[in-house]
Structure 1
């Protein structure tokens, strides 16, 4: 069962734009630098993200969003709790952040529950 991991960031107002660009590129590079400790192979299926450009005005300070896709909960849990590359990234980006929000979901479970509710 795949897991979609969404990360929403509000950066401190005084953060240098170059530091924001560097942090964003570092986040995207985790797809290649996060490796399974047993297989030594990258385990993140896909990462996408970028800076907000919504005209709706509902961002509430959130300026950047990233979506990370994992094949299963075990990979997501390793990434969140243990992966050295991710842990290093969190330490480096932490001082830039005013707020972070994270939500995860399993698309297959949602689709299954939704289809049952329509039956």
Structure 2
């Protein structure tokens, strides 16, 4: 066989395989789009690490001040917190995780500049060694 005949035959085989693949795709179930449901919740995850010189007493003050926020800011509809206890050693010095829930972005927008949230920042500020915040809509 000539080289051009082999190339032409291989091209036909490739086209046939692609047609079969696309034909089978018609029967495949469509990939669902990510849609935010009306009952989805907005999560606000905050991780702190403290300066090495921060005393346990001052860390406790920060914990108590953050824990008081849900009673002062009604837009916070869920709250929990805890200390890192992962055995993986990948926390990069972050020790505290605070997990807040909001019903809407509007509620979060009220929380962020809220005077009680700002007052908490004043308690935290002198001791903060680092912060990481991630917000997401729960799926």
TM-score, length-scaled by structure 2: 0.69
Cα distance in 2 between the residues matched to 1:21 and 1:46? 21
TM-score, length-scaled by structure 1: 0.80
Return the index of the structure with the highest Cα Rg: 2
Cα distance in 2 between the residues matched to 1:19 and 1:53? 20
SS at match of 2:87: coil
Q: Which residue of 2 aligns with 1:79?
A: 111
Q: Note if 1:88 corresponds to 2:119.
A: yes
Q: Note if 1:55 corresponds to 2:87.
A: yes
Q: Note if 1:43 corresponds to 2:75.
A: yes
Cα distance in 2 between the residues matched to 1:43 and 1:64? 22
Task: Provide structure 1 residue ranges, at least 5 long, that are not aligned to the other structure.
Answer: 35-41, 112-119
C-alpha displacement at 1:2, in angstroms?
2.2
C-alpha displacement at 1:33, in angstroms?
1.1
Cα distance in 2 between the residues matched to 1:66 and 1:96? 16
Q: Which residue of 1 aligns with 2:130?
A: 99
SS at match of 1:43: coil
Aligned length: 100
Task: Provide structure 2 residue ranges, at least 5 long, that are not aligned to the other structure.
Answer: 1-39
SS at match of 1:14: coil
Give structure 1 regions of 4+ aligned residues with deviation exceeding 6 angstroms: none
CA RMSD for the aligned pairs?
1.0
